[in-house]
Amino acid sequence: MAGKTIAINLPNDEKVQLQKGTRKLQLKNAMRAKFDKILVPIADVLIAPDQRQYITFDAFFSNTMFHEVAHGMGIKNTINGKGPARKALKEKYSAIEEGKADILGLFLVDKLNEMGEFTETEMIDNYVTFMAGIFRSVRFGASSAHGMANMLRFNYFLEKGAFVRNSDGTYSTDMGKMKIAAARLTEKILKLQGDGDYEAAKAWIEKDGLIKPQLQADLDRVNDAGIPVDIYFIQGPEVLGLK
């Protein structure tokens, strides 16, 4: 069963995007359900107690919004004659593009803070909620472009020290290091797309596009707590009052 959509950015056609832009749609009811039933319970298990106050629905909503905005930004065509980035990166494109939307969206949050549009507290909310969101999305697995993108980002953040795993098994976000890591990861992905470097994308995914033992053990704790991977809609004639 496919994951339940919480936001939409269409069309995907690069030519139309460049000429006309894209249209975004936020599905607030589905987002609220995932926040209340999945993200907050995950945070209660895996986010450090002193940072749980920063898990907010407004941050979840805006991170998702900036993700969709970021889909419409960035590299559409390679800069070296390889054609569209989608074509050059082949089957690796979707995971790389979802990763770009996530991290470029977080980069936009940082820029809005620098412009005075986001307060320091709002930026921290977005950062910590973003971190909790990695645990939520990585559970979709390698078969999902979103799941794969989050595996790549978790391992990149781990390498750069953007978070620490505490002795009690919870995670704390290092705001300063995450800010730097977000900027560098944005640069890495945009360059990869601009170069249309399939081999580099393939090598990166083979190295870091997996759930390593420590993360898997922590996700097992989430599963043992009975936290669902996704929401499910109650549908059918009965809901419509037809039976």
The pLDDT of residue 58 is: 97
Q: Once rounded to an integer, what is the mean pLDDT over residues 65-73?
A: 92
% of the chain with per-residue pLDDT over 90: 82
The pLDDT of residue 2 is: 59
pLDDT in tens, 20-47: 888 888 999 999 999 999 999 999 999 9
51: tokens are: 């940072």
Q: Rounded distance, CA 211 to CA 217, Å? A: 10
Which structural domain range is residue 114 located in?
Answer: 7-216
Give domain status of residue 230, yes or no: no
Give domain status of residue 227, yes or no: no
Number of structural domains, the chain? Answer: 1
Give domain status of residue 136, yes or no: yes
Handedness of CA 203, 187, 146, 141 (dihedral sign): positive
Amino acid at 48: A
Give domain status of residue 241, yes or no: no
Give domain status of residue 40, yes or no: yes
pLDDT in tens, 176-231: 999 999 999 999 999 999 999 999 999 999 999 999 999 999 999 999 999 999 99
Give domain status of residue 184, yes or no: yes
State yes or no: pLDDT of 72 exceeds 90: no
Give domain status of residue 228, yes or no: no
Q: Once rounded to an integer, what is the mean pLDDT over residues 126-137?
A: 97
- In which band, very low, low, confident or very high, does the pLDDT at 172 lie, cut at 50, 70 and 90? very high
% of the chain with per-residue pLDDT over 70: 99
Give domain status of residue 131, yes or no: yes
What lies within 8 Å, CB to CB, of 185 at 6+ separation is 99, 103, 153, 156
State yes or no: pLDDT of 1 exceeds 70: no
Q: Once rounded to an integer, what is the mean pLDDT over residues 109-124?
A: 94
Contact present, 222 and 170 (Cβ < 8 Å) = no
